Amino acid sequence: MHVFIVYAHPSEDSFTSRVRDEFIRGLEAGKHTFEISDLYKMNFNSDMSESEYLREANYNEKMPLSEDVITEQEKINRCDAIVFIYPVFWTEAPAKLVGWFDRVWTYGFAYGNRTMKKLKKALVLCITGHTIEHLKEYGHYESIKTVMLGDRIFDRADSKELIILDGTAKLVPELRQSNWKKHLVTAFEVGKNL
């Protein structure tokens, strides 16, 4: 399977970068191919321009797309599966990834007269400081699931899955340490068995 990874984290010195690396190791072990957009490293412009806004607001697919958006759309149409790897900030993806959706999920590509292929799989692999229990208690788990799988992925993939690697906050070092090892194994296995 050919996998497109959309990765969003501002620091290479992070648990999220280790999750990315283990996931890629798993892909390689499973004989999958992949390409990656590291949004921070490539300095992806997450701000929608006025012309991009007018294109979307008026459902005008004849208005031109920026070259960086076309490049991302081509990566999507080359892949069988798309995987989003990111940390959760305030119950949401980092602004770079939100902006990626704003700019790349264009009219005439991801909605309207779609030219985006239907993917075999969409996977969201996100990292949270809080535990799953905490996220569920306060409704954050459902919020993340609704936004990422219900809205952004919707029917754009045959199957879709949310995996939250939880309990990684530095404030609870013993939980962080035990979860760290477990989550890296999960990332590897998910990549291998994609």
Helix/strand/coil for 13: coil
Rounded CA-CA distance 17/10 in Å is: 10
Residue 33 has, within 13 A of its CA and on its CB side, a CA count of 6
Mean pLDDT (the chain, rounded): 96
Q: 189 pLDDT band (50/70/90 cuts)?
A: very high
Instruction: Give domain 2-192's CATH superfamily.
Output: Flavodoxin domain (3.40.50.360)
Q: Can you give the pLDDT at residue 169?
A: 86
pTM: 0.97
Tens-place pLDDT, residues 67-106: 999 999 999 999 999 999 999 999 999 999 999 999 999 9
Q: Can you give the pLDDT at residue 177?
A: 82
Tens-place pLDDT, residues 16-72: 999 999 999 999 999 999 999 999 999 999 999 999 999 999 999 999 999 999 999
Q: Please say whether the beta carbons of 42 and 73 come within 8 A.
A: no
Q: Can you give the pLDDT at residue 53?
A: 97
